[in-house]
């Protein structure tokens, strides 16, 4: 499976109504698209937000490479990790260019560098730089907005990108399009993408590795093929849907 990008070691998180995660262990491999699925309340978003310290664990540690992120400055840490959220979260008062270059600007990078970087990223996500850099978010379609959201996450060249149900607010056509683009994009940029979704089709389609959670436990981790061919638990069939499994396995 190669090297670990992120590692959860004995992580416990409690929201006051019982433990969401308890002594949780997970290794997220490098340079793969890893989708995290599971029923709502299973801790998948908690898991994601622990990686950039928007949520802090009560116990245990999260390792980034070899580094315990609890020892890192949260602001610096977040600037080194890409983040894409469901509601897109583009700043409405900023142009496309200002939105994309926000993280490099926070880091204090030079202006000339930012212009070139924006153009490069816009090209990467398939939008014509000269046409789009000066536009405002409300002048773009939902699909275009979320492309900009992805470009913004890539701007500071992070090795890890966190995506929290990024395509779920889009219409089905743009969703499928963005899924395809994401797969293609990662063949080029080779990032570790941690992708939380509740859409099983999406999870199986884009993933190199799927992590299926239930009540704060990893039920199975593996390639989509592995999950479908060798489900580790009855719950895997149940959650993914019996119809996805060949008849021979289902009896």
Partner 1 sequence: MHQLWTTFQASWEVILEKTQEHIYLSLVSVVLACLIAIPLGIYLSAHRRLANSVITTVSVIQTIPSLALFGFMIPLLGIGPKPAIFALTLYALMPILQNTYVGINGVNPALIEAGKGLGMTRWQLLWIVQLPIARVVIMAGVRLVAVQTISMATIATYIAAGGLGDIITNGMSMMDTPTIMLGAIPVSLLVILINILLLQLNRWLTPKGLSDKKTTVSINTHAKKRRAAL
Binding site for partner 1 (CB under 8 A): 52, 54, 75-80, 83, 85-95, 102-103, 106, 136-138, 152, 162
Of residues 13 and 53, the one with the C-beta less far from partner 1: 53
Tell me how far apart the alpha carbons of residues 159 and 143 are, in angstroms, rounded to a whole number. 24
Nearest approach in angstroms of CB 150 to partner 1 is 13
Partners of 59 in the β-ladder: 12
**For partner 1, which is the closer residue by CB, 137 or 216?**
137
Q: C-beta of 180: minimal distance to partner 1 in Å?
A: 24
- Pick the closer one to partner 1 by CB: 79 or 175: 79
C-beta of 46: minimal distance to partner 1 in Å? 14
Nearest approach, Cβ of residue 6 and partner 1 (Å): 16
Chain Cα centroid distance, residue 25: 18
Of 28 and 228, the one with the shorter C-beta distance to partner 1 is 28
Q: How far is the CB of 140 from partner 1 (least distance, A)?
A: 11
CB atoms within 10 A of CB 203: 24
Nearer to partner 1 by C-beta: 15 or 249?
15
Q: How far apart are CA 183 and CA 48, in angstroms?
A: 20
Sequential DSSP letters for 45-111:
HHHHHHHTTSS--SEEEEEETTEEGGGS-HHHHHHTEEEE-TT----TTS-HHHHHTHHHHHTT--H
What is d(CA 128, CA 97) in angstroms, rounded to the nearest whole number? Answer: 12
């Amino acid at each position: 499976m190669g090297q670990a990008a992120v590692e959860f070691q004995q992580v416990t998180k409690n929201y006051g109504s019982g433990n969401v995660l308890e002594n949780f262990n997970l290794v997220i491999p490098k340079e793969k698209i890893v989708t995290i699925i599971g029923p709502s309340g299973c801790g998948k978003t908690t898991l994601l937000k622990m990686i950039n310290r928007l949520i802090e664990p009560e116990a245990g540690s999260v390792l980034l490479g070899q580094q315990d992120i609890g020892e890192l400055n949260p602001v610096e840490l977040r600037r080194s990790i890409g983040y894409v959220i469901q509601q897109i979260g583009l700043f409405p008062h900023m142009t496309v260019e200002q939105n994309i270059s926000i993280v490099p600007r926070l880091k204090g990078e030079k202006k000339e560098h930012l212009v070139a970087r924006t153009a490069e990223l816009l090209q990467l996500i398939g939008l014509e730089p000269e046409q789009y850099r000066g536009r405002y978010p409300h002048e773009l379609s939902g699909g275009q907005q979320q492309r900009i959201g992805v470009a913004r996450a890539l701007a500071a060249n992070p090795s890890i990108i966190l995506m929290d149900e990024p395509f779920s607010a889009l219409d089905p056509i743009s969703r499928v399009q963005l899924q395809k683009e994401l797969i293609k994009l990662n063949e080029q940029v080779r990032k570790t993408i941690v992708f939380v979704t509740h859409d099983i089709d999406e999870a199986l389609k884009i993933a190199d590795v799927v992590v299926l959670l239930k009540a704060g436990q990893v039920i199975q981790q593996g390639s989509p093929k592995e999950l479908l061919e060798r489900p580790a638990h009855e719950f895997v069939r149940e959650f993914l849907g019996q119809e996805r499994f060949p008849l021979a396995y289902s009896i």
